[in-house]
Amino acid sequence: MTTTAEKATNTEKSDWLKILLTQRIALLAVLIVIIVVTFFINDAGGYLTAPYDFDYMSASLINAVPLAMLGLAELLVILSGRGGIDLSVGAIVSLAGMGFGFAYGEWGWPLWLAILGTAAFGALLGAVNGFLVSYIGFPALIATLATFYAYKSLAIVINNQQPISTEPIQELFSLSKPVELPLIGQYLPDVPLGIFTFLLPTAVAVWLLLARTTYGRRLYAIGTNDVAARWAGLPVRDTRFKAYVYAGLISGLVAVVTVGQFASARPDAGVSGNGMALPAITIAVLGGVAITGGIGRVAGVVLATLLIVWLNAGILLAFVGNEGSQYQLLALGAVLVFAALLNGLTNRKYGGTS
């Protein structure tokens, strides 16, 4: 016979389980702590090839800047519903990066103007996606796959498959340098400059767009039920179109980040290896963005990025040679499956995450 104390304990466990399943922020925070503690223990036991410490974790955040920004781009398009997804973000990074290389590295534009021009060019490329999806009615998967191939090809042929590595471009490597935090920096590791110059402004801008504007409320509404939104008089096509434009704009900013990181405008910057699109989509889904649309938060995407970046950083130290990079792919696939199963379980049991 179950006692009152046992019932209270079971109820408490059920409440904690519900919190972890429905509050993706809480779950991600717990997973980050588990991953970091696990690698710290392995480091203390001598099982890693190099120290996994706070300095190493901070240095690895340089990879978080483009990934988190593209995750926020995917957040916008997936929120729009109707199978919203953008497979072309990596190719936009490549093509816009070449445009930035020409503007700043060869044509002598001022840096601020080159950055604005690259962001506008990325928005234009995103507008092509938005037009195909919102006004022509193409499925997002097909439309953005087609533009992925088109943008990727243009990035390669625009400069005869050659990167742009002029002196002004090489000097942009300073955008990726680590900097000391003001006031408390002497007690903490240095943080990559891109966190403050690109990632944080983008995250704040997307949060304000979604949480504090009429457009954000419309985007959640059409992602949840665009038929009802249309009957309510909301501009469904225009709202969805703008989501792809904003995703392209963010991708254009990521192009500037990658040029600074590589000290070169590379035609394959966003598509080499497995590209940037699939990790960005994985981060968005892991961050609690419902692939069906209408559900997702900026904080979830940022925390999911930290989890992926610090997991990958630890995996690299757990194996000798190039084996670590292959296990990173395995981990990325496992995380994506886990996130999809978790989203499905949460939707069935509790009606979604928050």
SS3 188: coil
SS3 166: coil
d(CA 17, CA 77): 30
333 conformational bin, left if phi > 0, alpha if psi -120 to 50, beta if neither: alpha
Q: So what's the pLDDT on residue 262?
A: 92
d(CA 147, CA 85): 12
Q: So what's the pLDDT on residue 297?
A: 93
User: Tens digit of pLDDT for each residue in 240-279?
Assistant: 999 999 999 999 999 999 999 999 999 999 998 778 999 9
Better-scored residue on pLDDT, 354 or 110: 110
Average model confidence (pLDDT) for the chain? 89
Q: What is the DSSP string of 1-62?
A: ---HHHHHHHHHHHHHHHHHHH-HHHHHHHHHHHHHHHHHHHHHTT-SSS--SHHHHHHGGG
User: Tens digit of pLDDT for each residue in 167-211?
Assistant: 999 998 877 788 887 777 677 788 899 999 999 999 999 999 999
User: Is 60 exceeded by the pLDDT of residue 317?
Assistant: yes
Identify any residues that bridge with 178 across adjacent strands, giving them in sequence order. 192
Residue 159 DSSP symbol? T
Average pLDDT over residues 100-111: 95
Q: Which amino acid is at 347?
A: N
Q: Measure Cα distances from 346 to 13, 82, 223, 249, 340 in Å.
A: 16, 20, 18, 32, 10
Average pLDDT over residues 292-309: 94
User: Tens digit of pLDDT for each residue in 56-67?
Assistant: 999 999 999 999
Exposed e or buried b per residue across 178-190, where buried means at least 16 C-beta atoms within 10 angstroms of its C-beta: beeeeeeeeeebe
CB 74 within 8 A of CB 206: no
Predicted TM-score (pTM) of the model is: 0.91
Give the residue ranges of DSSP H helices in the chain. Answer: 4-22, 24-44, 54-59, 64-79, 89-100, 111-130, 140-157, 167-171, 194, 200-211, 214-224, 226-231, 236-262, 277-286, 298-318, 323-350
d(CA 252, CA 115): 8
* Joined tokens for residue 260: 């600074």
Identify any residues that bridge with 192 across adjacent strands, giving them in sequence order. 178
* Joined tokens for residue 4: 């009152």
Percent of the chain surpassing pLDDT 90: 68
Q: So what's the pLDDT on residue 237?
A: 95
Q: So what's the pLDDT on residue 320?
A: 80
User: Tens digit of pLDDT for each residue in 6-50?
Assistant: 655 666 666 666 666 667 788 889 889 999 999 999 999 989 989
Q: So what's the pLDDT on residue 2?
A: 56
| Right CATH for 51-175+186-336 from 1.10.8, 1.10.3470, 2.60.120, 1.10.260 | 1.10.3470
